[in-house]
A and B are shown apart, each in its own frame.
Chain A
Amino acid sequence: MTTMAHAPTHLSEAASRSKVAIWWFLASEIMLFGGLIASFVISRLGGGAQVDHSQLNVLVAAVNTFILLSSSYTMVEAFACAARGDRRGMRMFLAFTVLGGLAFLGIKAYEYTGEILHGFTPWAGTFWSFYYTMTGLHALHVAIGVIANAALCVGARLGTERPYRVEVAGLYWHFVDIVWIFLFPLVYLS
């Protein structure tokens, strides 16, 4: 195969490009969530958005936090496996990550259902508007991450995976995790 000679440099170039690109993308994502969270914080401190603690299920949210933190761990393990060529381990850890993401989304949907059934809809007040917008936007990001990780998992089965893609997907996934690290105390605890 004549293309074999090109492949290693081509791959490492693609890896460094993708890494720079995803970091720039994450920078704009920080601004997106940052703008939203800054608006919420300001509204909270100004008295506009008062948290209705009685209606939020802290325990369920804590379980969700646990799941997302752990899925971040499995994601980084998936990359470690990919980096040392352990395809089996990579598939396994990616599958765990996907399951973690799906569990997070399922639990979030369960929470939403309960709240809406009690009449706390997005238009039930400023806090609830922010609550649904922030967690909804976050959940959308989780869903995109789940799709990306699932695609990588399938790719690993077909043998088309590239370690750098796992790294890029991982960087995105950890970012989504970090957003939740701030949303959790912001919405449920403080």
Chain B
Amino acid sequence: MNGTTMTRGYVIIWAWLLLLMTLSLFASTLPVSRAAIVTLMFVVAAVKAVLVALHFMHLKLEQWLIYAIAILPVLLVLGLMVALFPDFVLAR
């Protein structure tokens, strides 16, 4: 792999991350509902996380096992959160 092109790729990702960060900072000034703003923020956060994982952590170059190790716990956390809803959110 050519070192210089890789480096340029990293700079681009970095620029994207900073852009997205700025976007989420100013999202609260958008003239839309609060729920939409919060949703937007977490979509942006997820995109940032995926960018870091795929490019900085080289997940896009890894074999399926590493993917599985990375994705399984994320699914489990989401499952845990869903299962906690009835007791702590819906009960209110």
Contacts and interface: CB of A to CB of B under 8 A. Distances in A.
A35 B80 contact: yes
Interface pairs A-B: 3 shortest CB-CB: A34-B77, A30-B73, A73-B14
B88 A69 contact: no
Given A41-B81, A43-B88, A178 B49 contact: yes
B92 to A, nearest CB: 5
Contacts of B30: none
Interface of A: 19-20, 23-24, 26-28, 30-31, 34-35, 37-39, 41-43, 45-48, 58, 62, 65-66, 69-70, 72-73, 75-77, 80-81, 83-84, 86, 170-171, 174-175, 177-178, 181-182, 184-185, 189-190
Contacts of B25: 58, 62, 189
B74 interface: yes
Interface string B74-92: 1011001100110011011
B92 A46 contact: yes
A46 B45 CA distance: 22
A189 B21 contact: no
A184 B48 CA distance: 12
A178 B53 contact: yes
Given A31-B76, A181-B49, A181-B52, A66 B70 contact: no
Contact of A84 (B3, B13, B48, B84): B3
Contacts of B81: 38, 41-42
A87 B69 CA distance: 31
A69 B18 contact: yes
Given A23-B69, A46-B89, A77-B10, A34 B80 contact: yes
Contacts of B42: 185, 190
Contacts of A27: 69-70, 72-73
